[in-house]
Amino acid sequence: MSLGKCAVIYYSQSGTTKQIAEAIKAKANADMYFVEPEKEYTGYIASIIRVGKEKLTRRPAKLKTEVADFASYDAIFIGFPVWYGTVPPFFQEYLKQCDLKGKRVIPFATTIKTGKDASLNTLKEILPEADIDINNYYFAAKNDKPDVNQWLDDLMK
Ligand SMILES: Cc1cc2nc3c(=O)[nH]c(=O)nc-3n(C[C@H](O)[C@H](O)[C@H](O)COP(=O)(O)O)c2cc1C
């Protein structure tokens, strides 16, 4: 089954999630929507400290990227690195503003280790009207990465 017209909404701080986004672009000819905060996150430790503060104060980073119109898409891939066990806070704020009602959403995430179920639960909470394709959720940990091309081939069967 063809996926139809695809979009990829994603964030990647150090390039791991970006590699998957690029694979989707190549295979599914998807339009890319990279979501950026006003002030970019640089470096692992600095990001850990900054996000920790943002979580404590419940003030996610402000968004630089404006919300787009996804009405014409049949499938929307949503990808992110796991931060503090789940979806990065500023990226959550972006998604909350997107109108994805009834849209097929295919999530993908990268992590060192944790956050598989919690990330999916967060997505369900913030996108209650989207049709989240939980069976095709792609989750890549440092030591356990499913084959990206196989995943995409299966999706396109
Ligand atoms: C602020 C921050 C928080 C993170 N929190 C977690 C975490 O809770 N669990 C985990 O296994 N990895 C965590 N990581 C590691 C990233 O999820 C992992 O390195 C990811 O693949 C990076 O993707 P990227 O290169 O696309 O940014 C964290 C990284 C950062 C920068």
Query: Which residues are paired to 110 by β-bridges?
Result: 81, 140
For a ligand 1 pocket test, name from 83, 87, 92, 138 the mutation site with the most ligand atoms within 8 angstroms of its C-beta. 83
Residue 51 and residue 91 in contact, taking contact as beta carbons nearer than 8 Å: no
* Distance (Å) from CA 117 to ligand 1 centroid: 15
Rounded to whole angstroms, how far apart are CA atoms 16 and 111?
9
pLDDT digits (tens, 9 = 90+) for 46-78: 999 999 999 999 999 999 999 999 999 999 999
Q: Which domains does the chain have, with CATH numbers?
A: 6-156 (3.40.50.360)
pLDDT digits (tens, 9 = 90+) for 9-19: 999 999 999 99
Q: Report whether residue 120 contacts ligand 1, using a CB cutoff of 6 Å.
A: no
Mean of pLDDT over the chain: 97
Residue 133 and residue 127 in contact, taking contact as beta carbons nearer than 8 Å: no
pTM more than 0.75: yes
pLDDT digits (tens, 9 = 90+) for 98-120: 999 999 999 999 999 999 999 99
Residue 1 pLDDT greater than 90, yes or no: no
- What kind and span of H or E run contains 39? none
Task: Report the atom number in ligand 1 closest to the C-alpha of 115.
Answer: 9
